[in-house]
Amino acid sequence: MELRPRLTPAIADVRRAVRETLSKLNLVAGDTILVAVSGGGDSLALASATIFEANKLKLNVAAAIIDHGLQQNSDVVAQNTKQVCKALGLEPVLVSRVSVTQAGAGLEAAARNARYRELENIRVQLYASYIFLGHNQGDQAETVLLGLVRGSGLSAISGMREIDEERKLIRPLLGLTRSLLRQSVLDQGLEIWDDPQNLDEDFTRVKARRILAELEVELAPGIAESLSRTALLVQESEDYLLNQANQLMLQVMTDGGYAIELLAKAQIGLRRKTLHLIALANGAKSLSRSQVLEMDALVTNWHGQKPLSLSGITVERVNNQLVLLPGKPLNPGA
C-alpha cells in the first residue's frame, strides 16, 4: 500500500521543486524516470516527491539502489531501502552491488564513478529517459568550494547542473537545504539511514562540509545559498562563452587546420576557450591551463617553437595555420 502523508510545508517545497524541474523536461505519458535512492534523507525526499508528481503526468518511476559494499550490513541497508521505495509506489526497484576499486583519485572518486556507471547501465536497461539525483543546496556549495580550491576555471565553479542532458542526469533539489529535505522525510514517518561515511573526514566532501558549516557560523551566514547562487551565475557565463567558442572554432577551421589570423584577432578569453575546444575535438584527453597557454603562444607569440606534445596530440604552427595531429606513441623502452 502506498504511503499518503499529511501535507506539510517541507513536503510541499520538495514537491514543488520536482514539479518545476519536470516541467522543463520533454517527457510524455508512459516515459520512465529512474530515481537513485541511497536510503538517506535527500534521496528519500526526492523519491517520494517524484512519484507523487510523476503520477499526475502518468510517468513511470523506477528506483535504483547502488550497494557499494564498503560498509558492514550494506546489503541490509539496501534491502530496507528497497522496501521503503516499494511502499512509496516506485516500481521496479532494483538493487545493484558494484565493485569499488580504489584508483589514483581515491576511494571517494572510485565509488562515485562506479555508482554513475551502474546507474547509466540500469537507465539503459529500463529504457528510462533520465536519472534523478538527490543533490541539494549544500552539495552544490561543496562542489563550488572544491572547484575554487582546485582553481580550474569557470567549469570547476559552475557546480552541478539541474539538467545535464548529455549524461541524462537531473537534479531537482539543488535549491533546497539538506535540513528541509530531511524534515520532509520525517514528516512522512519514513526511516532515514544516516551514512556513517558522511562523518569521515578522510573524504574530501566531508571536510568541505565541515568547513562550510564553520564559515556559516564564523564568517558568512547563508554561505551555502550564496555559493549555490554563484554556481547558477557562472553556468550562464560558461554557457555563453562555450557557445561563442564553438562558433569561433567553426569560423577558423580550414582544410588543413585552423586559421592563425582569425584566432589572433579574438578576445583573449574567447581565443583560449576556443583553443581548448579545438584540442579536445582533435583527440586530446584533457588539457591543463599551462597547455592551453602553450597553444596560445603559437598563435600570439610565434618565434619558431617546436611542435607541442599535449595530452595525446601534437600541435604545431605551419605557416598561417595551427595544425593538430594524433600524438606519436612512445617507443617500447623509451
Residue with cell 506539510: 8
- Percentage of the chain modeled with pLDDT above 90: 74
Q: What is the pLDDT of residues 30-68, one digit of tens each?
A: 999 999 999 999 999 999 999 999 999 999 999 999 998
Residue 334 predicted with pLDDT over 70: no
Phi, psi of 219 (to 5 degrees): -125, -55
Q: Across residues 206-223, what is the average pLDDT?
A: 88
pLDDT at position 2 over 60: no
Closest to 34 (Cα-Cα) out of 100, 106, 173, 127: 127
> Which helix (H) or strand (E) covers residue 318, if one does?
strand 313-318
Q: Are strands 32-36 and 60-67 parallel, antiparallel or unpaired?
A: parallel
Strand order through the sheet with 163-164: 93-97, 60-67, 32-36, 130-132, 169-170, 163-164
Quick check: 162 pLDDT over 70? Answer: yes
Q: Which of 66, 55, 71 is nearest to 117 (CA)?
A: 66
Q: Indicate the average pLDDT of the chain.
A: 91
Q: Which residue has the cell 529500463?
A: 126
Q: Could you give the domains of the chain?
A: 9-227 (3.40.50.620), 253-326 (no CATH)
Burial level of 40, CB count in 10 A (0-12/13-18/19+)?
A: buried
Per-residue pLDDT, 110: 85
- Compute the residue count for the chain: 334
pLDDT digits (tens, 9 = 90+) for 169-187: 999 999 999 999 999 999 9
pLDDT band at 81 (very low <50, low <70, confident <90, very high): very high
Looking at residue 166, what is its pLDDT?
95
Q: Could you give the CA distance from residue 61 to residue 49 in angstroms, rounded to a whole number?
A: 11
Cell numbers that stand for 9 in this block: 510545508
Exposed, middle or buried by CB within 10 Å (0-12, 13-18, 19+), for 38? Answer: buried
| 234, three cell numbers | 557562472
The phi, psi pair for 26, rounded to 5°, reads -90, 65
* Range in 182-186, 272-276, 330-334 with the lowest mean pLDDT: 330-334
Rounded to two decimals, the pTM is 0.86
pLDDT of residue 155: 81
Q: Average pLDDT, stretch 72-92?
A: 93
140 has pLDDT over 50: yes
